[in-house]
Amino acid sequence: MVYFDYAATSFIKPDCVYRSVYEAMCYNSANPGRGGHFASVQAAEKIYEAREKICKLFQIATPERLAFFPNTTQGLNVGIKGVLNHGDHVVISGMEHNSVARPIEALKHKGLITCTIVKPDKDGNMEPEQFVKAMNHNTKLVVCSHASNVCGNVYDIASIGRLVHQKEAYFMVDAAQSAGVIPICADDVDLLAFPGHKSLYGPQGSGGLYVREGIRLQTITEGGTGSSSELLTQPDEMPDRLESGTQNVPAIVGLGAAADFILDKGIDTISNHDKALCTRFKNGILNMPKITVYGNDTSVNVVALNIDDMDCVEVSERLDKEFGIATRSGLHCAVLAHKALGTLGTGCVRFSFGCFNTTKEVDYALDALYYLINH
């Protein structure tokens, strides 16, 4: 199989991730923070080490402000619902994944908040100033994806964050498609949700949410934290406030090993590799007839396209069955983005690359698309 679906999940992991998960299952699977015995303490230490490594990757100064969750979706829900109150206004981009759009829609449906969506142009582009223009006197939160999971466009989160803070609102970033591909600095961000299993190359069931110092989120889950057990209320200190229940130690340890891999290899090296593959692929398909490409950025590892007169699902199925090429077709859980790109009625085929892909595989995919166009 030639795997081009890294935007959904990284199928191939670094060897160090496989080893660390196995070793954690064998030696570190006691309940962290739930006892004074050696195994429990050791498991807690392993989790804290992983927390420090992820914070180093995102330039976060205080590891305690990072809470682990099974995926980006939970992190986004905890952040969105934890910061918004009745009567608040929120601004989101028109390129958001359903993991942002659906929690916002649920709060709107209950009559709790109002929302303004920043409209992208036909190529999925948005300028930082658009977010400020969409804000009003009671805007509490602005949410923007760092990179589109459909077309790969990257948005200037540093500039957006600075402008939002001038208006004294919170700024949240969905880093599902950028974490591990683009350098991220949390300085201009109040809330940052990320997955472990995509371009961070960690296990599925890992991810998290960074919460800037001074922000106290309302909790949507309460329970055992291993701390302040004498209280019937959820503790205030982070990360315990958000991390109720037994943690997924093997997945978190594996994520820590993945962070080591990225830090050792260098995020710039990984980014340049992915950009080179995207550029090679885009240049190849731009010379082919009957192909429409969406978006105009190669900063991350995503390219979306359609072939004239062919259903996107048929294209993906033929690539899989006839050539052993794995892609993702459909609406990619991102109805707002497809609406902006004009593909809501058709969907599209998404190719997404990773650091284990090669130029030979990209050329093979180009040959496969050429064949499909002509047969």
Specify whether 112 is located in the same domain as 234: yes
Specify whether 288 is located in the same domain as 221: no
The candidate with the shortest Cα–Cα distance to 201, out of 255, 269, 149, is: 255
Specify whether 199 is located in the same domain as 271: no
Distance CA 153, CA 160 (A): 15
What's the chain's average pLDDT? 96
pLDDT in tens, 221-236: 999 998 888 899 999 9
Cα–chain center distance at 12: 18
Q: Which of 265, 291, 319 is the last residue of a domain?
A: 265
Paired tokens of 252? 């978190």
Cα–chain center distance at 89: 24
Q: Which of 248, 265, 282 is the last residue of a domain?
A: 265
Specify whether 260 is located in the same domain as 300: no
Residue 362, domain extent: 2-10+267-374
Specify whether 292 is located in the same domain as 207: no
φ, ψ of residue 358 to 5 degrees: the values are -125, 165
> Which CATH number covers residue 215?
3.40.640.10
For CA atoms 217, 223, 227, 231, the dihedral sign is positive
Paired tokens of 219? 């909790």
pLDDT at 227: 85
Quick one: 330 exposed, middle or buried, by C-beta within 10 A (0-12, 13-18, 19+)? middle
Specify whether 271 is located in the same domain as 208: no
Q: What is the dihedral of CA 271, 2, 285, 344, to 10 degrees?
A: -90
Neighbours of 106 (CB within 10 A): 14
Domain count, the chain: 2
For the CA atoms of the chain, what is the radius of gyration?
Answer: 21
φ, ψ of residue 179 to 5 degrees: the values are -60, 120
- What are the DSSP calls for 105-165, one per residue? HHHHHTTSEEEEEEPP-TTS---HHHHHHH--TTEEEEEEESB-TTT--B--HHHHHHHHH
User: In which residue are the tokens 């582009």 written?
Assistant: 125
Specify whether 213 is located in the same domain as 311: no
pLDDT at 267: 94
Distance CA 114, CA 88 (A): 7
The candidate with the shortest Cα–Cα distance to 64, out of 83, 82, 44, is: 44
pLDDT at 203: 98
Q: Which of 214, 243, 265 is the last residue of a domain?
A: 265
Asked if residue 251 lies in contact with residue 206, where contact means CB atoms within 8 angstroms, the answer is yes
Q: Please tell me the pTM assigned to this model.
A: 0.95
Specify whether 276 is located in the same domain as 245: no
Specify whether 255 is located in the same domain as 305: no
Each residue's pLDDT, cut to its tens digit, for the chain (375 residues) gives: 999 999 999 999 999 999 999 999 999 889 998 888 999 999 999 999 999 999 999 999 999 999 999 999 999 999 999 999 999 999 999 999 999 999 999 999 999 999 999 999 999 999 999 999 999 999 999 999 999 999 999 999 999 999 999 999 999 999 999 999 999 999 989 999 999 999 999 999 999 999 999 999 999 999 999 888 889 999 999 999 999 999 999 999 999 999 999 999 999 999 999 999 999 999 999 889 999 999 987 778 999 999 999 999 999 999 999 999 999 999 999 999 999 999 999 999 999 999 999 999 999 999 999 999 999
What is residue 80's three-state secondary structure?
helix
